[in-house]
Copies of this chain bind each other. A is one copy, B any other.
Amino acid sequence: MRKRFLTVTGIFFFLGCLAQSTSTLKIRKSVLQSSGEIVSEFVQLLSIPNIASDAPNIQKNAAFIMEMMHKRGINNVQLLSPTTPGAPPVVYGEVIVPNAKQTLIFYAHYDGQPVNPAQWAAGLSPFDPKLFSSAFDNGGASLSFPDNKQFDPDWRIYARGASDDKGGVAAILNAYSQLKANGIQPAYNIKFFFEGEEEAGSPHLNEILDKYKTLLQSDLWIICDGPVHQSGIKQIVFGVRGDAHIDLTVYAAKRPLHSGHYGNWSPNPAMMLARLLADMKDENGRVTIKGFYDDVIPLTASEKQALKDVPSVDQQMKTELGIRATENPGMSLVEAISLPSLNINGIASGNVGKLASNQIPTFATAVLDLRLVKGNDWQKQQQKVVNYIIEKGYHVIDHDPTDEERKTYDKLIKVLLGKDSYNAQRTSMDLPIVKGIIASVQSTTADKVVLQPTSGGSLPLFLFEKYLNAKTVTVPIANHDNNQHAENENIRLKNLFEGIETMAALMAGGM
């Protein structure tokens, strides 16, 4: 296995050195020339709020993307709605290519993570896209969108979904129009599949895949989501981690109490929750919950080798992030994301800052994010956490406590197990069609494309396997410092433009 892998990557690197063909350079020039129209259309798309639960705006996004497809002459454009009424639709379209023997289906999602506009920096706003000369927190200056339509690739657009993942939608659709404009015929039949509730955990993707399984037949799914490698080099990712959430709420007195009159007698829920969370990890950040690292299927030799070949960015990232120490000291970032993880996404109790008051809050709550690797079952992984909580003396309920429960138990906790959870998925690097995909991406760049056995992030890719028996590989395009999932999300235009090149090369079967 190891020898074969080295041979394969050796060939790709050789191809890489020959890469950036005439076609690539032609597309690159053409993208820059069209950058005015590309950005203008993209900004219109970003201006439509895209939280999955915001049905009216989700419909507007879907309609806008359908119109983008119509403009490009894409066929069979339609909304794929799940059985469940009111859920966000998938926007679908296709291009059947004469003599093409295989079909690629391109996936991106047009919904975005929830936003708290108050947390965005001054001058930025989730759904009012803003242009900066570079990262705003790294000396970038605010710019007006230029009339002369000259866009510098180092400029950035700030908006929710800029990178995650309307950038993916824009890259895929513009790749197709660029091929068309430059008279290059795709080597595959092409299908387009743009999901509208990925950030809500894709709760209806199963229904859609099941309902439209005939329409959605393909030889490979290309998932365009996530960032390129932190080194700036393009990457292909062959798997994703699974993801499971747990919401915890610890209860104290039924009404808020004066911390002077009752403090250190009536229990403090923030302290109770702190104690509960603190013991989930040791001082090195290793999870101490019983059996947490059990069930993990070890990496294969070729996957281990791929990890070794990934350029190390640990020191670069420490400097960039302003951190000196990491969790799991001695473990590299790529090693860390090969393990199951436990993270606190948020914690809240009472008030802080100017709103702080001398009270004992009535409850304290936290959101846990568990990432899973091959071998983990999400329900089993959640249960390990629940077992830990029970061992800590808590009575676990799934609702706010009743008076009877308050009378009966010393320590009460509401545990909500996220149902939008799923397992990890991984596609073999050795499938013939996958080798072609690697070669296509490699054809657009002189750098050696980074091959990652798994992303640290998650997508419900197991569903494609389950309902369509389909394989997936992920070809991300966003800059790594895009603030996806948080305030001040952005995309560097160079990444959008190079993303168009990458997607075009994939459609064309190499440049």
Contact = CB atoms under 8 A, between A and B. Distances in A.
B268 A343 contact: yes
A59 B333 CA distance: 57
B486 A256 contact: yes
A227 B274 CA distance: 30
A333 B265 contact: yes
Interface string A364-380: 11110101000000000
A71 interface: no
Chain A's interface size range is 35 or more
A347 B345 contact: no
A260 B253 CA distance: 35
Contacts of A337: 260-261, 263-265
A5 B251 CA distance: 41
Interface in A381-427: 401, 403, 406-411
Interface in A210-253: 226-227, 241, 243, 245, 247, 252-253
B274 A260 contact: no
Contacts of A241: 260
A114 B352 CA distance: 11
A339 B264 contact: yes
Contacts of A411: 325
Given A255-B321, A345-B357, A348-B352, A267 B279 contact: no
Interface in A334-362: 336-337, 339, 341-361
A259 interface: yes
A323 interface: yes
Given A277-B274, A371-B259, A410 B347 contact: no
Interface string A444-457: 00000000000111
A397 to B, nearest CB: 13
A274 B408 contact: no
A345 to B, nearest CB: 5
A331 interface: yes
A481 B261 CA distance: 11
Contacts of A456: 258, 260-263
A415 to B, nearest CB: 14
A271 interface: yes
A406 B341 contact: no
A273 interface: yes
B270 A347 contact: yes
Contact of A485 (B258, B268, B270, B333): B258
B268 A327 contact: yes
Contacts of A342: 263-264
B255 A358 contact: no
A103 interface: no
Contacts of A458: 260
A257 interface: yes
A348 B355 CA distance: 12
Contacts of A300: none
A278 B285 contact: no
Contact of A261 (B274, B324, B408, B457): B457
Given A277-B271, A346-B351, A326 B266 contact: yes
Contacts of A331: 265
Contacts of A367: 350-353, 356
A227 B336 contact: no
Contact of A114 (B275, B321, B355): B355
A300 to B, nearest CB: 22
B326 A255 contact: no
Given A268-B327, A353-B365, A253 B406 contact: no
A116 interface: yes
Nearest to A227: B261
B267 A323 contact: yes
26 contacts: A114-B355, A241-B260, A256-B485, A259-B343, A259-B345, A259-B369, A260-B455, A263-B337, A263-B342, A264-B285, A264-B339, A265-B327, A265-B328, A265-B331, A265-B333, A265-B336, A267-B327, A270-B344, A270-B346, A271-B277, A271-B343, A278-B279, A324-B409, A345-B352, A347-B350, A352-B365
Given A247-B352, A259-B369, A263-B342, 17 more contacts: A113-B357, A137-B255, A226-B261, A243-B358, A253-B323, A255-B483, A256-B488, A258-B484, A259-B371, A262-B456, A266-B326, A267-B327, A270-B366, A273-B274, A274-B278, A277-B278, A322-B407
Interface of A: 113-114, 116, 137, 226-227, 241, 243, 245, 247, 252-268, 270-271, 273-275, 277-281, 283, 285, 287, 317, 319-328, 331, 333, 336-337, 339, 341-361, 364-367, 369, 371, 401, 403, 406-411, 455-458, 481, 483-488
Q: Which 5 A-B pairs have the closest CB atoms?
A: A256-B486, A346-B350, A260-B457, A278-B278, A253-B321
